[in-house]
Chain A
Amino acid sequence: MPLAAYEEEVMGYSFIEYGELGRPKYLVLGIPDVGLVGPIASGHLVRTLGMNDVVGIESYGYLPPAAVVVGGTVKYPLRIYVKDQLAVMVTEVMPVTSGIIPLSIAIVEFSRKRGIEYLVGLSGLGNPTRAESQPQLYWLATTPYAEKLAAALGGSTKRLPDGLIVGPYATILKESVKRGVNTLLLLSDSFVDIPDPEAAAVTLQGLSKVTGVQVDVSQLMEEAETLRLRLQSMARETKDTLAKMGKGYEYRAPLIYS
């Protein structure tokens, strides 16, 4: 792990910059949620685009005392990778339940301070019949600028219908609205509690359209079964944390409807 050149603390999380983040246009978020769509998609992006990690995110209050070893190098469990206009946040370890909201606020605030134009969240939308259907992509935007970005997705991608969102992205969306941050959330139908590489591939195809960065998902599809095996423990941990956050509320209709 290289020496930190700059360190900033937001909401109990330290953003430790040991490389050159610069001012990327997009920050793609791969936070664990339904189907582990975010972590699978962000991991694939980093590998296929050959991105370099430049920022580590650490919290001795909200994250377990874990260090990740990759190729003999010690790394932070949460990292931001960058290449040209695209930055990607990779999450290897889920924070404790009480650390999810501070992390979500910290990400939005860090992006705002660093002048990142768009936050793009990649996540899953639990669909009980996902095993018998192809995943459909949905989007949700926090500002008119983010809505313009979504226009590139085309007519086949729908705006998220009325409902409730529970979890890290719910806080990210609310904080983005409050702070005027352009956030676009891409959600794909996915398995509820089984890692879903196919759903991750669908969100990556959507990301390619909105950012113009071409991402080949063929390797992701070929390795889907291996990934599902590798991520079984992470899926279990994520389900546990999300259940404690009240994820079950997503499966009911809102009081006011359009």
Chain B
Amino acid sequence: MRSVFFHTVFLIYSTYALSIEHDFKETFQDYTQEDLHVVEKQIQNLLPRLKRTVVSIETLDGAGSGVIVTKDGLVISAAHVIEQRGKKMTVILSDGRKIHAVSKGGSQLSDAGMLKLNDDGPFEFATMAKSGSSKVHQWCFALGHPNGYNKDRGIVLRAGKILAKKDETIQTNCRLLGGDSGGALFNLQGEVIGIHSRISNKPEENFHTSIESFLSNWDYFLSEELLTLENLKAGGFLGVSCEQSNNGLLILKVVPGSAAEKLGLFANDELLCLDGIPLDTREKLTILVSKKSPGEVITLDFLRKGREISIQVALGTRQ
């Protein structure tokens, strides 16, 4: 009887690394001892492997963190850690090994950044979660190097729940500190769901760039300059503020005098595609529009009262 019991336990735990056979309640404070036990076991199982994917990044006068997401050493981090494309940086792996790296692109809008290690590995890497898979009230945990790399201490773990998720930002109660920037937020499957970005002075105000920002703009981040708030001004301007919706982007407000208003776009219209490219994040729309020059014509597909409409519009200038 006893051996059967142990055998079962072993089987359950051995499959944990991929999926969890446990139903968690979808509220914040409602968790059982059993829930806590499952979360703890899952984190402890994943920790040794995931720690090897989280790195410390040395900049000239400070430190951030990052997480390796490909076998050949691509690291995702925060835009304010890499600061610009083509910067030489030093990355410290969890075992203390130092490797040089060069920054790629990213976006200051969502605070996403990338860098590539000057060594093709193979490296252990973390898997990125599928777009839209992280939900409010889910358990999560954060790894990073608060106050920079510390050999005696090691990587620091924080565990908590997702408190809010909106557009490119996830808020959790996993407390962060300077040096954590660019470190990874994981779900209980051990997939990256966010990158540490910013905090306030309140313990529950910890903000992470959601992985969706990277997934949606992967090629752009990899190949183009870092999108800064400054170089947005030079590009085209549509003039809508929107939020993510089921089909695309729901327009909340149209800027008076903008190209969008002239065209007759209204609040509650739902943007679907720009030049045939599906709009899954606000940032994607901003990036696509800013890549165009003022006056350039784009094709916009949108949904109004259940009817799909396709129009062409000349972009304006950002005021």
Decide whether A and B assemble into one complex: no
Residues of B near any A CB (own CB < 8 A): none
